[in-house]
Amino acid sequence: MNPSKRAEARQRARSVSSQNIILLVIGAGLILVALAAFLSLPKQSAAGAANDLSAASAIPSEVNFPAPAVEISDLQGKPVALSDFSGQVILYNAWATWCPPCKQEMPTLQAYYEAHREQGFVIVAIEDGEPVNEVAKFVTEYGLTFPVWPDPKWVATTAFRTDSLPTSFVIDRAGTVRLTWTGAISREMLEKYVTPMLQR
């Protein structure tokens, strides 16, 4: 190779090397910017998640109609009915094991039930269509102590004409549906709308 071509090759190599260095610097800069942006994102605590549920909680609609008759079987295969709880305030919760907002509200429902069960209040959570073993597994995982019934044939959701999950209905002591919720319920909303019914 003659001297002029050798010099030209060296110049080309230096140019390529410089371009690679520039690209590496730009790439590193972009990574640092992305990392800084990620670290600046607010972290959500468990309390923050609870606050989000409170803020997003559905507001109930006031209704007035006789509670439909629902007769199905519990997790042990025993025949059960909503009328078994006549004289109590009943919160019928239509839900599913795969439903994210249903999962989100379950700890709230459990805590409210424990706080008010002695006042003649019961939650009946009727699962929408999943097999009994899946429902039983969910009950154990979430530590639920209120009645949870599987509904593989959609008896309850058909009777109440439910078309979204979760949906809740509050039935007064006389058997009349007074409130209906669509969406996850917060403790604040339960205390505001259901607790006064327990005092009647």
Q: What is the CATH number of the domain that holds 171?
A: 3.40.30.10
Identify the CA nearest to 191 among candidates 118, 123, 112, 117: 112
pLDDT for the residue 200: 83
pLDDT for the residue 129: 93
pLDDT for the residue 41: 38
Q: Are 101 and 137 within one domain?
A: yes
- Residue identified by tokens 């942006």 is 37
pLDDT for the residue 24: 59
pLDDT for the residue 21: 60
Is 50 within the bounds of a domain?
no
Residue numbers of the chain with a pLDDT score lower than 50: 3, 5-7, 9, 13, 16, 33, 35, 37-56
pTM of the predicted model, to two decimals? 0.72
Domain hosting residue 68, numbered range: 58-198
Q: Are 120 and 156 within one domain?
A: yes
Q: Are 65 and 17 within one domain?
A: no
Q: Are 64 and 22 within one domain?
A: no
pLDDT for the residue 29: 58
pLDDT for the residue 92: 98
Q: What are phi and psi of 153, to 5 degrees?
A: -105, 10
Is 48 within the bounds of a domain?
no
Q: Are 34 and 107 within one domain?
A: no
pLDDT for the residue 25: 57
